A and B are shown apart, each in its own frame.
Chain A
Amino acid sequence: SQQGEEDPQALSIQEGENATMNCSYKTSINNLQWYRQNSGRGLVHLILIRSNEREKHSGRLRVTLDTSKKSSSLLITASRAADTASYFCATEPYSGSRLTFGEGTQLTVNP
C-alpha cells in the first residue's frame, strides 16, 4: 500500500445526495489536505486539517481526521453536478517539503 490511498476509486451519486470519500495513509503527518481536480486541469486546494484537529468544515465540505487509524474522510453534502471531479488527499510530513498524493476518487454527480 502507498501513502494516501483513497476509496472508493469511483463514486457515482445523484444530485442532492451526500458523497463520502476516504483516505488512508501510513506515516506520521503534520497535516492532511484535500484537493480537487477537474478533468485536464490543475489541482485546487479544498481544505487542510492539522494533525491535532479531528474535524473541520468549509461550506458544504466536512473533513475528519483520525490519526490513530491514519485515516481521513471528506464529506460533500448536498452534491451538485458541478462537484463532478477527481478528489485527492495529500499528506504533508513533519519535516520535508513534499506532498504525497493518493490515487484519487473520481466523483460523478448525476443531475
Chain B
Amino acid sequence: EPEVTQTPSHQVTQMGQEVILRCVPISNHLYFYWYRQILGQKVEFLVSFYNNEISEKSEIFDDQFSVERPDGSNFTLKIRSTKLEDSAMYFCASSLGPAGYNSPLHFGNGTRLTVT
C-alpha cells in the first residue's frame, strides 16, 4: 500500500539554525499538509497546500515557517530560525481530495525535531 515517507526520522539542531523537513506524499495525492505534535499534547494543524500554493495556515505557521513543493514528489517544511518551542514531532500528510470533501488524510511517521 502506498505511504507517505518522511526524512529524517530525527533531527537535532541548535536554536537559531534553519531546518528543512522532507516528505514524499502519496504519488496521486493532490493535497498536502503539515501537522505537529508537541510531546504529550494534541496534534496541531500547521498548513495545507494545493496547486503549488498555501490553502490555509494556522496561527502557529508564522514568518519563520515556509513550505515548498520543489519537484513532482517532494514536499518540504522549512523553519528559518528554530526556537526551543519548535521541538515537536512534525507530521506530513496527503489526501486525494480536499479536506471538507470526506477525503481522509494519510500521515507519515513523522520527524522528531529537537532544538537545543
The answer to whether residues A97 and B56 also contact, given A42-B107, A43-B91 and a CB cut-off of 8 A, is yes
The interface stretch among A10-18, A65-73, A77-85, A98-106 is A98-106
Chain B residues contacting A43 (CB-CB under 8 Å) are 43, 91, 93, 105, 107
Contact B102 A48 (CB under 8 A): yes
Say which size band chain B's interface belongs to: 20 to 34
Interface of A toward B, CB cutoff 8 Å? 4, 30-31, 33, 35, 40-45, 48, 50, 88, 90, 92-104
Q: Which of B56, B98, B100, B110 contacts A41 (CB 8 A)?
A: B110
12 intermolecular pairs with C-beta atoms under 8 Å apart? A43-B93, A48-B102, A48-B104, A88-B43, A96-B56, A97-B56, A97-B99, A98-B56, A98-B58, A99-B45, A101-B42, A104-B42
Q: Mark B29-73, 1 if CB is under 8 A from A, else 0.
A: 001010100000011110010100001101000000000000000
Interface of B toward A, CB cutoff 8 Å? 4, 31, 33, 35, 42-45, 48, 50, 55-56, 58, 91, 93, 98-102, 104-110
User: What's the nearest-Cβ distance from chain A to residue B41, in Å?
Assistant: 8
Chain B residues contacting A92 (CB-CB under 8 Å) are 99-100
Chain B residues contacting A102 (CB-CB under 8 Å) are 42
Q: Which residue of B lies closest to A50 (CB)?
A: B102
Instruction: Give complex CA distance A92, B91 in Å.
Output: 18
Instruction: Give complex CA distance A103, B106 in Å.
Output: 19
In addition to A45-B106, A94-B100, A98-B45, 17 A-B residue pairs with Cβ atoms within 8 Å of each other are A4-B42, A30-B101, A30-B102, A42-B107, A42-B108, A43-B43, A43-B93, A43-B105, A45-B107, A88-B43, A93-B100, A97-B48, A97-B55, A97-B99, A98-B48, A99-B35, A99-B99
